Chain A
Amino acid sequence: MLEAQGVSVRYGQSAPALRSLDLRAAPGEVTAVVGGNGAGKSTLMKAISGILAFDSARVVAGEIRFCDEPIQRLSPTARVRRGIAHVPEGRRVFADLSVEENLRAGAATVKGRVQDRLDEAYEMFDVLAERRRQRAVLLSGGEQQMLAIARGLMSGPRLLLLDEPSLGLAPKVVERIAEIILRIRDRGTAVLVVEQNAAMALSVADQGFVLEQGRVVLSGSGRELRATDEVQQLYLGGSGTADELLQFADRAPLARWSA
């Protein structure tokens, strides 16, 4: 479904943020990309949804294909029409718009009535149904994340990109988001989730990639990656508790990986 081959991305004239990256995501599967700050996770997402230009960045090498079609030259709008939805880092709900208007904005590419999709969203996220008339800025962080995901689903995507969905959220909310990710996967949607919170991402992942300095340094099934010593040490902090995760987050990547 989604295939990235040898993709490199540069911001202006600076060193590449992604270096010859290979990655795939399949329908009905969760693909997790984990890595520290500046590993190139968000850049990867922007390259797929086509909004690199907003940051004066561009794909300088390689190819991104979606359903066997090269998509690099397509506008973000055309990519949404083909079934790619991107839930950006930091949720980015439209603060001044109501919950329902946010959802309608998510359905901007949908022709005709969107009431069925709204009903579906409210069924999946009941907390949004109660607050449909409220301005999005008044929602809690967790609720905003739910809204951002629901908004992404409004276009009826075949591939959902989730950028750091657990960032800054309480463990209980993170659990709920993990459930939602699995539910979306079970509808046959491909889910590509990038996370610093490797514990969460790998717990739901069918496939996983570890990114370091713009390169894939490790890949495998979610189960394999969870069991790998390196991932255990660096991203799951041995036992995988939050405190230890934080402790390891700032550590420099191991040299043997970036060779």
Chain B
Amino acid sequence: MKALQLLLLGLSLGSIYSLIALGFVAIYKGTKVINMAHGSILLTGAYVVAMLSPHVGFLAAAAAGVVAAAVGAIVVERLVSAARTTDHLVLTTLTIGVDVLLATELTHRIGSSVLTMGDPWKDRQTEIMGTVLPQARIGATAVSVLIIAAFFLVFHKTNFGVRMRASADDPRTAALMGIDQRRVALASWAIGGGLACVAGIFLAAFPNPGLDQTAGLIALNAIPAIIIGGLDSTEGAVLGGLIVGVTQTLVDGNASSLHFLGEGFGTVAPYVVMLLVLLWRPSGLLGSKELNRV
């Protein structure tokens, strides 16, 4: 029973990581920039939700947070692309600078307080198949599944999706087709930011205590997720997120018997999995082989 409970908890945590990783990959595919400011953008969105929730209600606050994170991501994109270079490594490094700025400001604002999201699930738990799960995590899983399904539907069934995928595949040729690459960049970052905010809301919800200044760091768990899944694979991002969530939860849940590995191995475990995957498949589980040659 304990194993099942840990697995379900892991999958629900993993679905949150999947949202972060999917946003990360959307930005990478749209602009070839690895957005190291993703954690701060997540924090921005969740912060807006926490601030507005007591006044306008949770749903309206969540919507505002998603918009704020999307706009924040677009601002980062504009800042980064204002740099007079097309070297993606330089642009990626620039996002680290933006991350430091944003994180410093938000840490200053949040201080030592722990902000609540005001979500409808609160700290209630539900019994499923003999296991006890927090309702917020069940909500997280349901919302993630819906969002991820919508993401793939849009990217595979609409003209917008075709334009985005064509641009990810070959931006120069996409430009030749009249697909405006600036709009593609804006759309990718806005989607990435919005997804990060949704993930941020659920990361701050029960069983976690709430939003504090470390939430942006938790977003870093998406990094092993995207490396495990393959940096340029949206499906890989979802899979990687789930693997990280399950790994972390299983290790944490068996911490007493894994004590010989040291304290807090749950946080480290995803990176161990990442290393093992990299040794076995350098481009990730579902990443395209071409990345090896770069």
Chain A residues proximal to chain B, CB less than 8 Å = 49, 51, 54, 56, 75-77, 79-81, 85-86, 88, 92, 94-97, 101-102, 104-106, 108-109, 151, 155
Contacts and interface: CB of A to CB of B under 8 A. Distances in A.
* Interface SS of B by simple majority: helix
A77 B169 contact: no
A49 B173 CA distance: 11
Interface of B: 86, 159, 162-163, 165-166, 169-180
B21 to A, nearest CB: 19
B169 A94 contact: yes
Contact of B173 (A77, A81, A88): A88
A9 to B, nearest CB: 17
A97 B169 contact: yes
Given A92-B170, A104-B159, A86 B176 contact: yes
A97 B179 contact: no
B176 A51 contact: yes
A15 B166 CA distance: 33
Given A54-B172, A104-B159, A96 B165 contact: yes
Lowest 4 CB-CB distances: which A-B pairs, in order? Answer: A80-B178, A109-B178, A105-B166, A92-B173
Given A92-B170, A94-B170, A51 B175 contact: yes
B106 to A, nearest CB: 36
A105 B174 CA distance: 8
B165 A94 contact: yes
Given A92-B170, A94-B170, A95-B169, A105 B176 contact: no
A168 B175 CA distance: 25
Given A101-B166, A104-B159, A105-B162, A94 B179 contact: no
A92 to B, nearest CB: 4
Nearest to A155: B178
A259 B176 CA distance: 35
B178 A77 contact: yes
